[in-house]
Amino acid sequence: MTIAPNLIADAEHRATLPEKMRAGVYRGPGRVATEYVPVPAIAEGEVLIRVAACGICGTDLKKIQHGFIAPPQIFGHEVAGTIAAVGRGVRRWKEGDRVVSFHHVPCGACFYCDRRLFSQCLAYKTVGLTAGFEPNGGGFAEYVRAMPCIVERGMVEIPPGISFEEATFVEPVNTCLKAVEKAHVEAGEAVVVIGQGPIGLLLMLLARRAGARVFTTDPMPERRAASERLGAEATFDPLACSLAEEVRKRTAGRGADAVLVAVPLPSAVSEALAAARPGGRVLLFAQNDPHMKVEFPAADIGVAEKEILGSYSAAVDRQEESANLVFSRVLPVSALITHRFSLEEFGAALSLAARPNNSLKILVIP
């Protein structure tokens, strides 16, 4: 197929780019297709990023599987790549810069931003990264357009010697760092992480970094093995034992100080509350399905004084710290990558992510 060159609108350094690009397009609940779509045109204050790698997130899967958002869409928000064109007025970035791009940034001046509730800011809820159609991340494509708010406050330079694949972890590490902080994890505490997929493993690593003793659980033996290999004190098969009993054995009968839930199952909430000590905390990380209903014993809250907390998305004031954790290789993120797929294999990538089999982090490499 012959693709005609296209001159990107308003670019300072007039880059000749293709008119069309490949993208993994969501076409309805459970349906995706690799298609040719227009390369996004950039305007003043914007940049165009050539995507080098994009991680598949559980949120992407939920949107695609359950049809929470009307099609067509191009998802993907764990984006790393190279700036291919810059719009007029852009001073901080130039063509050729290697960057990680977040897809949300808050206004920094509203009621919620003042309280560090950045993901509740109205501006934050507006996506600033797109490969076409409605802005929705766009990392499952060859190019993405970063709007001015992202160019100004939502991009991080990748240092020499760090791969694009490693850099895709900056955004998910940020979300997990925020969650561990919100759960008030402290040194010496006993912490349980339910689920040892890529996010659960990051939560485990960050809780250990905070000085906690960390126990984990996952029904998949490969994931339990990865958890032990990366530093969990003990890991349990939830289908073969009582998590609450195992944790109490190791905490003088009390239970965990904090339980972090990294699986989107309603039953995991009751399991977490049972494993938490009186006055302990349960942090819900994966419960972001708008239709999910959760039931639990009221006495766990009203009598045992256990707390239920939530954490969603990233924190803008943790961008530098999360990037440093990845770029310094304090967190062994490369060890979490098990599969890489091209855009032509986009459907297969999503299928594996939805039904993992010996897999952890799955990357799309355009």
Q: Is the pLDDT of residue 9 over 70?
A: no
CA distances, 201 to each of 27, 138, 157, 190, 248 (Å): 31, 25, 25, 16, 22
**Pairwise CA distance, residues 135 & 155, whole Å:** 16
Q: Mean per-residue pLDDT for 293-297? A: 93
Q: Mean per-residue pLDDT for 148-152? A: 98
Which residues make Cβ contacts (< 8 Å) with residue 298, sequence separation at least 6? Answer: none
**Pairwise CA distance, residues 37 & 20, whole Å:** 5
Q: Mean per-residue pLDDT for 340-354? A: 97
Q: How many CB atoms lie within 10 A of CB 6?
A: 16
**Pairwise CA distance, residues 270 & 267, whole Å:** 6
The pLDDT-based confidence of 6 (bands split at 50, 70, 90) is very low
The pLDDT-based confidence of 48 (bands split at 50, 70, 90) is very high
Place of tokens 């165009």: 48
At residue 4, the pLDDT reads: 39
The pLDDT-based confidence of 13 (bands split at 50, 70, 90) is very low
Radius of gyration for the chain, computed over Cα atoms and rounded to the nearest angstrom: 21
Beta strands in the chain (DSSP E): 5-7, 16-18, 20-28, 31-38, 47-55, 78-86, 98-101, 129-130, 143-146, 155-157, 190-194, 213-217, 234-236, 256-261, 276-284, 307-310, 337-341, 361-364
Q: Mean per-residue pLDDT for 326-339? A: 98
Identify whether the C-beta of residue 165 lies closer than 8 Å to the C-beta of residue 337.
yes
Q: Mean per-residue pLDDT for 2-16? A: 46
**Pairwise CA distance, residues 248 & 277, whole Å:** 8
340 DSSP β-pair partners: 363
pTM: 0.95
Range in 196-200, 226-230, 253-257, 292-296 with the lowest mean pLDDT: 292-296
Which 3 state secondary structure label does DSSP give 347? helix
Please write the tens of the pLDDT for every residue from 235-262.
999 999 999 999 999 999 999 999 999 9
Domains with residue ranges and CATH for the chain: 5-173+315-364 (3.90.180.10), 184-310 (3.40.50.720)
Cis geometry, peptide bond prior to residue 219 (ω within 30 degrees of 0): no
Burial class of residue 110 (count of CB atoms within 10 Å of its CB; 0-12, 13-18, 19+): middle
Q: How many CB atoms lie within 10 A of CB 41?
A: 17
Q: How many CB atoms lie within 10 A of CB 176?
A: 29
At residue 291, the pLDDT reads: 85
